[in-house]
Amino acid sequence: MNEQRRQILQMLAENKITADEAERLLAAIEPEESDPAPGARVRAKSSRPKYLRVIANFNDEVDGEFRVNVRVPLRLLRAGVRLTSLIPPRAVVQVNTELAKVGVPFDLGELKPQQLEELVDALDELTVDVDQADMTVKVYCE
Amino acid sequence: MIPQLVTVRWRRRGNRVRRLWIPVVPVALLLSPLLVLAVIGGVVACLLFDMSPLRMLGGIGRVLWTLPGTRFELEMHGTAVFLGIR
C-alpha cells in the first residue's frame, strides 16, 4: 500500500472525509499507480485470456453445414512464435530474397523475439466477428 | 505441464461416435527407442543446417509443454472429428 492510499484511508477512518470522497480520491490516484513502463503491458494475471478461440459456421446449399471450433492456448502461440528465432541464417537470406522478389521488402533477421511476444500479447484484445446469412466467424480470446 | 492425455473422437455420417484416449506418457515410454532415434536424427539435421541442437530441442520442448488445453473440432456433412489435448 503506498503512502497516498494510506493517507486517504486514514482520513476516512478519522471521519475527516466521507466514503464517496475517499472513493473519488482513490480513483484519482489509480492512474499514477497503474502507469505502465514504456512498452510494458500491465494486467492482472487472473484476467489475462488463456486461449485463442476460433468458431466458424458455414452453411452452403451445395456442401451443407460446415462447423469449425478451435481453441489454442496463447502460450502455444508464444512458443511457436519463438521457434521462428531458430531459423538458420541461410534460410533467412533465402526467405528475404524470395520476399523481395514478390515485392515484400521484409527482413526476417529484424524480427526480434520480444517484438513477436508483443504481437502475441496484442492478440489478447483481438475480436473478429463476421455475421452473414450463410456464414458466421468469431475469433476472440477467452 | 506435458500433455497427459490425447482424446480423439470421430463420427461418420449415420454411424455412432467412436472415441480414442491416448495416454501420452506410457505411449512415449513404449516408443522411446524410436524417439531416441528421432532425436539423434534431429540433432544431425540441426548440425547440417547450422542450427543449435540445444535451442531447437528447447523450442520443441516448449511447444510440447504448452499443448495441453488445445482443442480442435470439425464437423462437415454429418462427419465430425474432435481432438483434445489435456
Task: Give the pLDDT score at B51.
Answer: 83
Higher pLDDT, B70 or A106: B70
Q: Which residues pair with B8 in a beta bridge?
A: B20, B83
CB contact (8 A) between residue A86 and residue B72: no
Parallel/antiparallel/unpaired status of strands A51-60 and B5-11: unpaired
Q: How far apart are CA B55 and CA B36, in angstroms?
A: 17
CB contact (8 A) between residue A66 and residue B73: no
Spell out the domain ranges in chain B. Answer: 5-84
Q: Mean pLDDT, chain B, as a whole number?
A: 90
Query: Looking at the complex, does the CB of residue B13 fall below 8 Å from at least one CB of chain A?
Result: no
Query: Looking at the complex, does the CB of residue A69 fall below 8 Å from at least one CB of chain B?
Result: yes
B73 contacts in chain A (CB < 8 Å) = 67-70
CB contact (8 A) between residue B75 and residue A72: no
Nearest to A73 among B59, B66, B77 (CB): B66
Summarised one tens digit per residue, pLDDT across range B33-54 is 999 999 999 999 988 888 888 9
Summarised one tens digit per residue, pLDDT across range B52-68 is 889 888 888 989 999 99
For residues B2-6, give the mean pLDDT: 91
Question: What confidence category does residue A1 fall into, taking pLDDT thresholds of 50, 70 and 90?
Answer: low
On the question of pLDDT at A79 being above 90, the answer is no
Q: What is the ipTM of this complex?
A: 0.80
